[in-house]
Chains A and B, each alone.
Chain A
Amino acid sequence: MTDATHPTAASGARPRRRAASPARSEPAKRAQFDRPLLPWAFLAPQLLVVCIFFYWPSVQAITSSFYLEDPFGFGSTFVGLDNYKDALGSAEYQRIAGFTALFTVLVTGFSMGLGLLFAVKADKVIRGRSSYRTALISVYAIAPPVAGLMGMMLFDQHIGPFVKLAAWFGYDMKVGINYNDTAFAMILVSVWKQVPYNFIFFLSGLQGIPASVREAAVIDCRNGFTRFRTAILPLLAPTAFFLLIINITYALFDTFAVIDVMVKDKPANNPVTLVYKVYNDGFRGNDIGGSAAQSVILMVVVLVLTLIQFRWLERRVHYG
């Protein structure tokens, strides 16, 4: 999901509010199809993909969550909300939910914060010099796969510089074995992977602020930090709001690969997030019903978070 979105989407919500009146005054420009089925034919591939890869699995998950599946494939029994009760009631689930919340807050906070910091610094350098901009934006194109790989190497037990750095201070860092070390590495690599993404969006947001508004602010406010906080940052709010949703989704779901690499085939006492537990219980533990219930819970959480964000945050976010 993250990769499909283009930087300009940050301001994508803007035209909505104004769209109503001009559209009404001029005659609707509607493409006329002779055959009413043609538009559906155009839509079909997309709809098919959405149905097969999104709606159908969702329906499957919801149905399965009410059944207890026999681990050996001999039928299933309807158990109502038992799977949900089991999941929510288990201490392990609660512990992992707690870690997931912490993980999400830290990953979102740090990757957005660092992305913003770098964007502000880069913006100072490249203002009006497009060659720099191209160079910096290409970071985005190469970063995600390379960053992930490099991130893992940073914590490699033998060659990882972070492990060596810790060793200098007399600390024996054991990623994949020690709970806190793993958590630290997991967060750091997840942040590391996401920073370029946020950086690009913040940078393009900053570049979108008119030079004269900045100059007016330079005349109105001497203190650079106050100026940034009161005159520039609020103008980045639409970008930040968009990124907040993307980053939370990223932290909850797209970090799966990072976690998998760090904890796969390692002793049990490692931090994982809810999405990893869904996978673990379903595919390793063969508890299809329980896993389905957990994924439905996760779906609901994301839905609620997104609704809250749109309802409360968007109101305070200034567009245009």
Chain B
Amino acid sequence: MARIDIRNVSKTYPGAATPSVADIDLAIADGEFIVLVGPSGCGKSTLLRMVAGLEDITGGEVSIGGRVVNKVDPAERDIAMVFQNYALYPHMTVRENMAYGLKNRKTPKTEIEARVAEAARMLELGPYLDRKPRGLSGGQRQRVAMGRAVVRQPAAFLFDEPLSNLDAKLRVSMRGEIRRLQRRLGTTSLYVTHDQLEAMTLADRLVVLNAGRIEQVGAPLDIYHRPASTFVASFIGSPAMNLLDAEADGARLRIGQNVIQAGAGFAHRGPVTLGIRAEDLHPAATGLPFRTDLVEELGAQRLVHGFIDGQALVLALDPSVPVRDEMFLTVAPERLHLFDTAGGKRIGTTDVRAVHARVPA
């Protein structure tokens, strides 16, 4: 258990013209669960692997538990890593897989046995202890990989997309299992995923990366409700936030021929990008004219795709709400997000609704 400090870290691969990771600053508190999220190729794995020691650090400093580890061997960093393809040793049994790291660290035999037994109990691996990985299902292998990390009792867990090889259902249950386990052990964790749902559900704090840089850091709901840029807005949340071209004139926003009212206190002139979450739009007697194009039934809700003034839009409606070909939509002024059209950065909006305190699971 330890804190991890990433100070100004950059990585340029040999031969690459631009850095894959640039100037990352991140302080991770003891016991915190940090999720790194971003599109493919944005440098998530690179950053994680630099913390693990599997990749040299080009610039900056990584410290784990107050000790700068830039030059420390991966085995000496007191971290355990869980890989996407599990990376189990195929010639060892489940028990040997879990014991391997401890054996090499000269942990007493009885201690190893106790820890393996405990991990096996926690992860329900008891019946498989003497099997080789090839005799296990994907989910079981994933659990062994977790067990291998857990028995080490490291200062930090590093996860690189550990669930992406599992089917959707298993992914959801393993997600919960990882979260519970991490809570229980209180081990500082750094978790990489490109699945925004996984990111939202697991994280204490979310780090959104874009092209090697941090786009936004914050609690999942803060990021959901106050995305710092159009990039974050379109990446976090499913369906993605609607982004519309609009013209601001003080608190009045013009979308094509239509005018809506932003909240009080917004004073900006010129083109802006207007962001509206799909669930914040509601049909009403008057409002923005919407032409329905396509309806997707998801069961609990229904996604209605269509256009406002030629711009694509999606709404998430309760199945009890009737869908007509032509509708009028309203949105509460405080649910509008406004972004600078040129740079994509958020511009001070009207009041964003208070984020309700999260109830720990």
Is the CB–CB distance between A234 and B91 below 8 Å?
Answer: yes
Specify the chain A residue showing the minimal Cβ separation from B55. Answer: A215
Interface of B is mostly: loop
Specify the chain B residue showing the minimal Cβ separation from A209. Answer: B90
CA distance A253 to B83 in the complex (A): 47
- Interface centre among A215, A223, A226, by most chain B C-beta atoms within 10 angstroms, is A215
Is the CB–CB distance between A231 and B89 below 8 Å?
Answer: yes
CB of B153 to closest CB in A, whole Å: 14
Is the CB–CB distance between A212 and B91 below 8 Å?
Answer: no
Chain A, range 189-236, C-beta contacts under 8 Å to B? 210, 212-213, 215-223, 226-227, 230-231, 234-235
User: Chain B 72-94 against A: per-residue CB contact (8 Å), 1 yes, 0 no?
Assistant: 01111001110111111111000
Judge if A15 is at the interface, Cβ distance under 8 Å: no
Which residues of B lie under 8 Å from residue A226 when comparing CB positions?
104
Is the CB–CB distance between B52 and A216 below 8 Å?
Answer: no
CB of B150 to closest CB in A, whole Å: 14
CA distance A70 to B198 in the complex (A): 87
Is the CB–CB distance between B104 and A220 below 8 Å?
Answer: yes
CB of B214 to closest CB in A, whole Å: 25
- Interface centre among A218, A219, A226, A227, by most chain B C-beta atoms within 10 angstroms, is A219
User: Chain A 240-256 against B: per-residue CB contact (8 Å), 1 yes, 0 no?
Assistant: 00000000000000000
Specify the chain B residue showing the minimal Cβ separation from A212. Answer: B87
Judge if A320 is at the interface, Cβ distance under 8 Å: yes
Is the CB–CB distance between A218 and B91 below 8 Å?
Answer: no
Chain B, range 54-71, C-beta contacts under 8 Å to A? 54
CB of B71 to closest CB in A, whole Å: 14
Known: A221-B101, A230-B100, A320-B134. A216 touches B75 (CB 8 A): no
Judge if A318 is at the interface, Cβ distance under 8 Å: yes
CB of A73 to closest CB in B, whole Å: 59
Interface of A is mostly: helix
CA distance A210 to B73 in the complex (A): 20
Is the CB–CB distance between A213 and B89 below 8 Å?
Answer: yes
CA distance A230 to B97 in the complex (A): 11
Is the CB–CB distance between B91 and A216 below 8 Å?
Answer: no
CB of B354 to closest CB in A, whole Å: 43
Is the CB–CB distance between A221 and B104 below 8 Å?
Answer: yes
Is the CB–CB distance between B73 and A222 below 8 Å?
Answer: yes
CA distance A193 to B4 in the complex (A): 54
Is the CB–CB distance between B104 and A216 below 8 Å?
Answer: no
User: Chain B 89-116 against A: per-residue CB contact (8 Å), 1 yes, 0 no?
Assistant: 1110000000011001000000000000
Is the CB–CB distance between A222 and B104 below 8 Å?
Answer: yes
Which residues of A lie under 8 Å from residue B81 when comparing CB positions?
215-216, 219
Chain B, range 23-48, C-beta contacts under 8 Å to A? none
CA distance A250 to B353 in the complex (A): 79
Q: Which of B73, B76, B87, B132 contacts A216 (CB 8 A)?
A: B87
Is the CB–CB distance between B75 and A219 below 8 Å?
Answer: yes
CB of B194 to closest CB in A, whole Å: 17
Specify the chain A residue showing the minimal Cβ separation from B96. Answer: A230
Specify the chain B residue showing the minimal Cβ separation from A211. Answer: B87
CA distance A216 to B52 in the complex (A): 10
Which residues of A lie under 8 Å from residue B86 when comparing CB positions?
212
Chain B, range 95-145, C-beta contacts under 8 Å to A? 100-101, 104, 132, 134
Which residues of B lie under 8 Å from residue A235 when comparing CB positions?
90-91
Chain A, range 85-117, C-beta contacts under 8 Å to B? none
Q: Which of B52, B76, B84, B89 contacts A222 (CB 8 A)?
A: B76
CB of A203 to closest CB in B, whole Å: 19
CB of A216 to closest CB in B, whole Å: 4
- Interface centre among B52, B76, B81, B148, by most chain A C-beta atoms within 10 angstroms, is B81
CA distance A234 to B132 in the complex (A): 14
CA distance A223 to B84 in the complex (A): 25
Known: A210-B85, A212-B83. A218 touches B90 (CB 8 A): no
8 contacts between A and B (CB under 8 A): A212-B85, A215-B81, A216-B88, A216-B89, A216-B148, A222-B76, A231-B100, A318-B90
Task: Point out residues on A near B: beta carbons under 8 Å.
Answer: 210, 212-213, 215-223, 226-227, 230-231, 234-235, 237, 318, 320
When A and B form their complex, which 6 residue pairs have the shortest distance between CB atoms, in order from nearest?
A: A212-B87, A222-B75, A220-B101, A216-B87, A318-B91, A221-B104
Using A216-B81, A216-B87, A222-B104 as known contacts, list a sample of 8 further A-B pairs with CB atoms less than 8 Å apart, ordered by residue number in A: A213-B90, A216-B83, A219-B54, A219-B74, A220-B75, A220-B101, A221-B104, A235-B91
